[in-house]
Amino acid sequence: MTDKPQSPHSEWSSRFAFILAATGSAVGLGNIWKFPYITGQNGGGAFVLIYLLCVLGLGIPIMIAEIMIGRRGRHNPINTLQALSAEAGADPRWVYLGRMGIAAGFLILAYYSVIAGWALDYIVKAFFGQFFHADATEINQQFQALMNSPFQQIVWHSLFMVLTMAVVVRGVKAGLEQAVRFLMPALFFLLLILVAYAMGSGAYQQGIHFLFSPDFSKINADAVLTAMGHAFFTLSLGMGSIMVYGSYLPGKVSIAKTTLYIAGADTIVALLAGIAIFPLVFANHLEAASGPGLIFQTLPLAFGSMTGGWLFGILFFVLLFFAALTSSISLIEPAVVWLVENRDMDRQKACIWSGAACWLLGVAVVFSFNIWSEHTLFGKNLFELLDYLTANLMLPLGGLGIAVFAGWVMSNAITAQELELPQRFYQIWLFFIKYIAPPAVFFVFLHVLGVLG
């Protein structure tokens, strides 16, 4: 067996701390904002079933691989892949996979922070009762007023970035770990309160039926590929976050068992979000397939007309903010660690430089909704371009690269040493990471490029 490299960084204090942190990275706007609306667009229960199968067959094997690569390398994604490529006698250009992951996380946070700023704005709107008895036109006008105001969006974007970097600058144990120890239980608690609220909405059974009763007549190839893509993206794979979190994982912790807990918690959050949201949608005779506007334009209408809507509207957008924050700290962490390791910076200076650069790009994203809205590239404004570039190109390529590197580049002796699985389960994982995950992710990639479907 090969000696295991030692980490120059702190480690998570326990497996539970890592599970909370990695779950926080995975749980974000994708679970609470995106999952409900794509489920609504693709017919409900049958889509959920296919999504769950994709998490099992695609997401979990790749997550195991990314955590394993991170723990084996014990550095930022670039240095990790450089070291592991040399260890395997492979092409040194595998470092570009690490570079792409760090870049993807940085670019995602630049626009993610802007959307999280909307959640902060909506907490204030809900607190001051701006949704109370508002009709659809008024709710839409409120949202458009926010979009048309660079100043408002920059203020909220700036506040969110400051909160993110305030956590990251404190390091692994004092910052990341302490934040998720509070935020993740609070997130689950708020979500359960909202589920209980939805149970009294009068349309709870209708929401449950929609979410869990399969109707395969609604399923086509596009829906299957959407479910596959979301199963992959919701676990925060291919952007360096899980790899760098894995680098802080103590060697005695089982990667496979921990991955199952993380994927399970992430999936439960997505399902609970659907259970909380769809009864409110149906109780107010709103459209489940209303798309991305479901959270910021449809739900405020529901909260404004329901008993207790003032309080639960506030709680919902606080929940959305917490979910965004647990993801944002993981998105910027790989870039911070790279600056510390490769540019001789202390953590504070690395946070200032990376945070400032991300904030500045986020300001440009804000402008793409208003004063720069007419400036487009390939028919997309900057927000749409960054979203497409990261979610549709960089992350699928990153996931494909992780699967190929773990399955075909790293030696079986090393992957077996890191995973420490019973032989039967190790062979199952190896089969999925070699022969199932790469073609599946490749089909997602072809789909988003428009080659398929």
pLDDT digits (tens, 9 = 90+) for 48-106: 999 999 899 889 999 999 999 999 999 999 999 999 999 999 999 999 999 999 999 99
Sign of torsion over alpha carbons 22, 195, 232, 421: positive
Distance, in Å, from the CA atom of 308 to the CA atom of 131, rounded to the nearest integer, reads 12
The structure tokens listed for 129 are 């009762």
CA atoms within 13 A on the CB side of 228: 25
C-beta separation of 238 from 399 below 8 A? yes
pLDDT digits (tens, 9 = 90+) for 134-149: 888 899 899 999 999 9
C-beta separation of 148 from 141 below 8 A? no
Q: What is the 3-state secondary structure (H, E, C) of 301-320?
A: HHHHHCCCHHHHHHHHHHHH
Which residue in the block uniquely carries the two structure tokens 């067996």? 1
CA atoms within 13 A on the CB side of 311: 6
Domain boundaries, the chain: 15-448
**Between 284 and 258, the higher pLDDT residue:** 258
- Which CATH number applies to 15-448? 1.20.1740
C-beta separation of 236 from 65 below 8 A? no
Nearest alpha-carbon partner for 230 in 3, 435, 36, 93: 36
pLDDT at position 449 over 90: no
- Tell me, what's the pLDDT at 451? 61
Q: Is 9 helix (H, G, I), strand (E, B) or coil?
A: coil
Sign of torsion over alpha carbons 141, 137, 293, 23: positive
**Between 120 and 202, the higher pLDDT residue:** 120
Tally of helices (H runs) and strands (E runs) in the chain: 24, 0
Per-residue confidence band for 346, with pLDDT thresholds at 50, 70 and 90: very high
Q: What contacts 117, CB < 8 A, 6 or more positions away? A: 153, 155, 156, 157, 159, 160
* Prediction pTM value: 0.91
C-beta separation of 27 from 323 below 8 A? yes
Q: What contacts 206, CB < 8 A, 6 or more positions away? A: 278, 279, 282
Distance, in Å, from the CA atom of 269 to the CA atom of 132, rounded to the nearest integer, reads 28
Per-residue confidence band for 1, with pLDDT thresholds at 50, 70 and 90: very low
DSSP string, 91-159: -GGGHHHHHHHHHHHHHHHHHHHHHHHHHHHHHHHHHTTTTTT--HHHHHHHHHHHHT-HHHHHHHHHH
Q: What contacts 409, CB < 8 A, 6 or more positions away? A: 84, 85, 88, 90, 94
- The letter for the amino acid at 228 is M
Ranges 102-111, 368-377, 385-394: which has the least confidence:
385-394
CA 194, distance to chain mean position in Å, is: 21
Distance, in Å, from the CA atom of 316 to the CA atom of 402, rounded to the nearest integer, reads 35
